[in-house]
Amino acid sequence: MTALWDSALRTIQEKIAEPNYEMWLRPIECLDVNESNITLRAPNPYVRLWFESNYLPVILGEIHEQTGINFDVSFSEDASPESPDLPKAEVVYPTAPPAAEAIPQSYASQRAEGSDRVTSIGAAERPHLNPKYTFDAFVSGPSNQLARAAAEAAANHYPPKYNPIFICGGVGLGKTHLMHAVATRVLETRPDSHIVYITGEQFMNAYVQAIRSNEMQQFRDKFRNKCDLLLVDDVQFLAGKGGTQDEFFHTFNALHDSHRQIVVTADRKPFEIADIADRLRSRFAWGLMADVDTPELEVRVAILRKKAQSEGITLTDDIAMYIASNVHSNIRELEGALIRLAAFASLSNTPITLEFAEKTLAGSMAKPMGKVTIEGILKAVAQYYNVKTVELKSTKRHKSIAGPRAVAMYLARTHTNMSYPDLGRAFGGKHHTTIMSAVEKIEKKLIADLRIRSEVQSIESTLFR
């Protein structure tokens, strides 16, 4: 059965640079695959962490493509023989998984057999709750206080005080973390609740599947009748998906009317989500909206300290400061830098000194200028506005294309070293003055138009991820 793993790995291998493959994927052993669970072993906790956060989702995606199955993954805790004294593998999951009998039947029955690390709660796709994403582990500061308070309110008030709660902000700023924290808290305090945690994308897939297999009744039962708390992560995915939006709208109303809490997250504010029905947009604004912003330096340092502590990594103040002052845009990246540092230190058997940190992280922190490409920009802009990259290069005048095109031109001019004539060519052979006036127009708008400013910031945050 491990052949399945091997074949997914081979497909991925072609897409990953050789040294990365050797360092992070080759050392992972696949011990067992049964119908719902894959058991892996990593040589040490750092390789495991890095692997989990960077490669595992892609591999699972690949396996899902091949088999249609969403596997759970557990890691065997026995350290391999080569690394007998690596620090505390068990710290990786500091929170013990709940004992089987403590889990209400409705959840227990949906848990994959043998997968005792993850609690699946309801959705057909069996989403996982990350045991590390708790309120305790969430560091607050001015950038995310309101979002945290909103999430706590969702978890603590029943019937809901604010409904819905809409949490928005750029990538890697803690939205998913807060969602999991809400679910975990509710499971602790009101274990009989039926919670559905699902991403916008999974909601759509479940809906399409339900139509296909003629199971709308079950679908509605699950999302409307049997659901006490609905958590929908990355709801912006529903943009442009009319049918799914309709279904979601009715789900929303049913839950809202019967005073059940709804929490959604998105990478932007409701009014910035293009292609979403106005009636849904206005529903989102009914309750409490809270945003997460990039955290202040002190908060970044505190997050690093906390993370280091929970992973058993020794981190001195000067190094925490060094990392935090060099990585600002998002917390996932901040954690990534820490884990990479710990991984390299453990693999090369070196203590983490400031010099070592500078050397190890230098490459990844020499940011972004040269690294952002025109292709990357076109792709990010196209994705954000839900248009095609060829349209960005076309001469179509329609507002829905011309607007995004101007933003792409502005970003290309700002973040690459290309000249105006170069840019003209890159945008499908336009005159350089066309680019210049687009750039100027956006520059002006950025001063006065909040909406454009936040759109541009969101796109930038994906570019520099």
Applying CB under 6 A, the residues found at the interface with ligand ADP are: 133, 137-139, 144, 171-177, 303, 331-332, 335
CB atoms within 10 A of CB 314: 12
Nearest-approach distance from CB 235 to Mg ion, in angstroms: 11
Q: How far from 258 is each of 152, 226, 254, CA to CA, in Å?
A: 21, 11, 6
Q: In sequence order, what DSSP letters do the residues of 379-442 get, joined into one string?
A: HHHHHHHT--HHHHHS----HHHHHHHHHHHHHHHHHS---HHHHHHHTTS--HHHHHHHHHHH
Nearest-approach distance from CB 422 to ligand ADP, in angstroms: 33
Q: How far apart are CA 152 and CA 186, in angstroms?
A: 10
Based on the shown chain and the rule CB under 5 A, indicate whether residue 202 belongs to the binding site for Mg ion: no
Nearest-approach distance from CB 376 to Mg ion, in angstroms: 21
| DSSP single-letter state for residue 72 | E
Q: E strands within 220-362?
A: 229-233, 261-266, 288-291
Based on the shown chain and the rule CB under 5 A, indicate whether residue 176 belongs to the binding site for Mg ion: yes
Nearest-approach distance from CB 461 to Mg ion, in angstroms: 13
Question: Per CB under 5 A, which region of 59-67, 123-131, 147-155, 170-178 contacts Mg ion?
Answer: 170-178
The amino acid occupying position 365 is M
Nearest-approach distance from CB 377 to ligand ADP, in angstroms: 20
Two structure tokens written together for 456 = 């541009």
Q: Which long-range contacts (CB under 8 A, 24 or more apart) does 427-433 make?
A: 427/392, 427/393, 428/393, 428/394, 428/395, 430/395
Based on the shown chain and the rule CB under 5 A, indicate whether residue 462 belongs to the binding site for Mg ion: no
Residue closer to Mg ion (CB basis): 245 or 265:
265
Residue carrying the six token digits 């796109």: 459
| DSSP single-letter state for residue 21 | I
Q: How far from 268 is each of 56, 116, 152, 407, 451, CA to CA, in Å?
A: 27, 35, 21, 16, 10
Residue closer to ligand ADP (CB basis): 138 or 284:
138
Q: 173 contacts which partner out of Mg ion, ligand ADP, none, CB within 5 to 8 A by kind? A: ligand ADP
Q: 446 contacts which partner out of ligand ADP, Mg ion, none, CB within 5 to 8 A by kind? A: none
Q: In sequence order, what DSSP letters do the residues of 218-242 get, joined into one string?
A: HHHIIIIIS-SEEEEE-GGGGTT-H
Q: 256 contacts which partner out of ligand ADP, Mg ion, none, CB within 5 to 8 A by kind? A: none
Residue closer to ligand ADP (CB basis): 135 or 286:
135
Q: What is the CA radius of gyration of the chain?
A: 23
Residue closer to ligand ADP (CB basis): 196 or 392:
196
Nearest-approach distance from CB 444 to ligand ADP, in angstroms: 30
Residue closer to ligand ADP (CB basis): 115 or 294:
294
Residue closer to ligand ADP (CB basis): 39 or 462:
462
Nearest-approach distance from CB 254 to ligand ADP, in angstroms: 26
Residue closer to ligand ADP (CB basis): 9 or 331:
331
Nearest-approach distance from CB 175 to ligand ADP, in angstroms: 3
Residue closer to ligand ADP (CB basis): 238 or 409:
238
Q: Which stretches of the chain bind Mg ion, using CB under 5 A?
A: 175-176
